Amino acid sequence: MSFYDVYLKYKGFDFEGFLNSVTDSQIMKILSKEKLNDLDFLALLSDKAKEYLEPMAIKARQLTLKNFGRAILLYTPLYLSNYCVNQCAYCGFNCKNKIARKKLSLDEVRKEAEAIASTGLKHILILTGESRKHTPVSYIKSCVEVLKDYFSSISIEVYPLDTEEYAELIEAGVDGLTLYQETYDDELYMEVHLKGPKRNYRYRLDAPERACMASMRCVNIGALLGLNDWQKEAFFTGLHASYLQDKYPDVEISVSLPRLRPHFGNFTPRSPVSDKDLVQIMLAIRLFMPRAGITISTRERPQLRDNLIGLGVTKLSAGSSTQVGGHAIEDKGDGQFDIADTRSVAQIRDMLYSKGFQPVFKDWQAI
């Protein structure tokens, strides 16, 4: 059994019919339940549920406080390389894009690490494009060896790997994986991934599970919101998270809600996701999975991020750059997308304190 079987179960489901049939009494009943099933979750993504955002928010806030307290974990991405062999219609790293390509040397990784660590951050997320030639697992491993001197938690957001490769990186010191399916719709997936190994939908879909099998401590998944009808994508994201949490209870599962951002290239989102939609997704996921982590990155603008604190978010990125060498290197590679929240770590820290939340810089200890 893989999550693909769950996907197939709902692939032909009449989403439109179901979402349009949701009633007030259904929503009120769901709001009074402690444990939601798949279709309760879907109902919370309906237009009808949009009329209940306030009671959903109240419940989401209570659940988040009970489970995570008044604490928000801070991290930042560190781009190691933007070399990529894929041709993804929506991505700045698309191999057809004429951008400045760069891969950090280990010395440069150290410089970046020093700059980031000086802000107090202890959690880092390292990223590469997909190029086994430029950034093989051995390179990622060498970077992890350097980063271990500076950070207490190292997560990866790289191309999907085999179970053994995940195990190798965990052994080297990696404790978290972030991997977005981009879209759960297998047909659309083939349309937007024009060329390259990323066209293998199943291999990517099963990657978070392979990381769980390798005993990754934290696994973070998501869909790139804007590619497809957000209700379906949010639904499958939640089901995927729930599938992993049920099957691998020892892994901390979390969900990101990345919305498409402007980037190098001319892709236009097919289904824009409004702020209200984004909030609805976050609240529905919190009610469906009270224990799941929820990450909101600097793709979102400050005003929105600040208002999401306390509603469900458990992790925020801060002081971000999507450029290769963006923290301390003069000769930078071009970025993946434009970020919307350019505040420094100190500014995010102060914002959290002012909202009555503790910025958590360290929430893991390499053992």
Partner 1 sequence: MDDKLVIAGQELSSRLFIGTGKFHSHRVIPEVINRSGAQVVTVALRRVNLDYPEENMLNYIPDGCIIMPNTSGARNAEEAVRIARIARAACGSNWIKIEVINDNKYLLPDNYETIKATEILVKEGFIVLPYMSPDLIDARRLRDAGAAAVMPLGAPIGTNKGLKARELIKIMIDEIDLPVIVDAGLGRPSHAAEAMEMGAAAVLVNTAIATADDPVAMAEAFSLAVKAGRMAYLAGMGAVKEYAEASSPLTGFLR
Binding site for partner 1 (CB under 8 A): 65-71, 120, 122, 217, 245-246, 249-253, 291, 353, 356-365, 367
Question: Closest approach of Cβ 314 to partner 1, in Å?
Answer: 12
- d(CA 217, CA 154) in angstroms, rounded, equals 11
Residue in this structure with the two tokens 């994201």, named with its chain if needed: 237
Of the pair 47, 171, the CB lying nearest partner 1 is at 171
Which residues have C-beta within 8 Å of that of residue 11, sequence separation ≥ 6?
Answer: 186
Distances (CA, A) of 10 to 43, 105, 179, 239, 316: 14, 45, 22, 10, 31
- d(CA 188, CA 119) in angstroms, rounded, equals 40
Task: Tell which residue, 366, 311, 329, has the closest CA to residue 113.
Answer: 329
Of the pair 137, 251, the CB lying nearest partner 1 is at 251
Question: Closest approach of Cβ 236 to partner 1, in Å?
Answer: 20
Question: Closest approach of Cβ 251 to partner 1, in Å?
Answer: 7
Of the pair 50, 291, the CB lying nearest partner 1 is at 291
Task: Tell which residue, 196, 211, 202, has the closest CA to residue 161.
Answer: 211
Of the pair 165, 252, the CB lying nearest partner 1 is at 252
Cα-flanking dihedrals φ and ψ of residue 258, to 5°?
Answer: -75, 125
Question: Closest approach of Cβ 152 to partner 1, in Å?
Answer: 8
Confirm if 210 and 161 have CB atoms less than 8 A apart.
yes
- d(CA 18, CA 16) in angstroms, rounded, equals 5
User: What residue type is assigned to position 331 of the chain?
Assistant: D
Question: Closest approach of Cβ 68 to partner 1, in Å?
Answer: 7
Tell me the two tokens of residue 49: 């549920």
Of the pair 45, 360, the CB lying nearest partner 1 is at 360
Question: Closest approach of Cβ 248 to partner 1, in Å?
Answer: 9
* CB atoms near residue 65 (< 10 Å): 12
Of the pair 20, 307, the CB lying nearest partner 1 is at 307
Question: Closest approach of Cβ 49 to partner 1, in Å?
Answer: 24
> H helices within 46-162, ranges in order?
47-50, 53-68, 106-117, 137-147
Of the pair 74, 282, the CB lying nearest partner 1 is at 74
